[in-house]
Amino acid sequence: MSESEERVALVTGGGKGVGAGVVRVLCGAGIRCCINCHANPAMAEETLRAVREAGGEAFVYQADVSDPAQVEAMVDAVVRRYGRLDILVNNAAMQPNRYIDEYDTASLQRLWSINIGGYWRCAKAAIPHLRQSPLGRIVNMSSVHAKRPTCFDAGYSMTKGAIRMFTRELALELTRDNITVNAITLGGCRIEFKTGHPKWDLKSPKETGNPALRGVNRMVEPVDVGHAILFLCSAEASALTGDCIRIDRGLMLV
């Protein structure tokens, strides 16, 4: 059995969208995966079925990453099943697409508890196991919204900005443990739907679009993200840590 076939990954929000693309690529490379889901277990089961039909190994675990007890139980389940944990992909998130005056305290706290709190909880639970791996890896999913302001959803953008700094801080802390920590700064990606079905009748300033690319199909595919993460989790990427890699097919090149 090769080193990649022995390795184990936990992908939060892995049942659909970007997470499902990541799971398919990692499993296709022989890495065993825990497919975390919360709101869409049926879609996670579809992803699992596709993985197994392609010869991969995975299992589904339903957990809310905003709940510390559920996160701990999920990581314990991974280690019980496979005996190890080598890779954490923090991907589970929500994007309400609300103007700032549409948030109340509870909804903003819920957003932060998932989008950044979930990353922290999963990392905290996973780190003791990642320290035992010869190739411990954490990849955090951020967004172009972390850098470029739009005229909607400041709450979501703040969480994605926080993820970038969390990535850098964690990379420094874990350097002594030979665990790399990187982030993907993701642009528009072709997925089934956003969790929570946010409204899309929103306007963006014209300055946020590149006129040279108008009318061109430039959507990122989930497997594009998966291939980038597969590289970040490889031995060849050991020198990369604390980095934020943008995947947006050039749409930020204004």
* Contact predicate 185/143, CB 8 Å: yes
Residue 221: name the closest of 181, 201, 245, 192 by CA: 192
CA atoms within 13 A on the CB side of 194: 13
Q: How far out from the chain centre does Cα 9 lie? A: 12
- 116/174 Cα distance (integer angstroms): 18
Q: What is the pLDDT of residue 203?
A: 45
If we measure between CA atoms, which residue out of 110, 133, 139, 109 comes closest to residue 12? 139
Nearest to 64, CA basis, from 43, 45, 38: 38
Which domains, from first to last, does the chain contain? 3-247 (3.40.50.720)
Which pLDDT does position 98 carry in this prediction? 87
Q: What's the chain's average pLDDT?
A: 87
pLDDT of residue 149: 74
Entry field: residues in the chain: 254
Q: Read off the pLDDT band of 5 (50, 70, 90).
A: low
The pTM (predicted TM-score) of the whole model is 0.88
Q: Quote the distance between the C-alpha of residue 29 and its chain's center.
A: 18
Cα separation, 123 vs 163, in Å, equals 12
Query: Tokens 């892995």 belong to which residue?
Result: 14
- pLDDT grade for 160, boundaries at 50, 70 and 90: very high
Q: Is the pLDDT of residue 151 over 90?
A: no
Ordered DSSP codes for 103-157: --HHHHHHHHHHHTHHHHHHHHHHHHHHTTSTT-EEEEEEEGGGTS--SS-HHHH
> What band does 187 get if pLDDT is binned at 50, 70 and 90?
low
> pLDDT class for 190, splitting at 50, 70, 90?
low
Residues 45-92 have pLDDT tens digits of: 999 999 999 999 999 999 999 999 999 999 999 999 999 999 999 999
Whether the pLDDT of residue 24 is over 80: the answer is: yes
CA distances from 235 to 59, 84, 91, 118, 199 (A): 25, 18, 22, 27, 41
pLDDT at 19: 94
The pLDDT of residue 208 is above 70: no
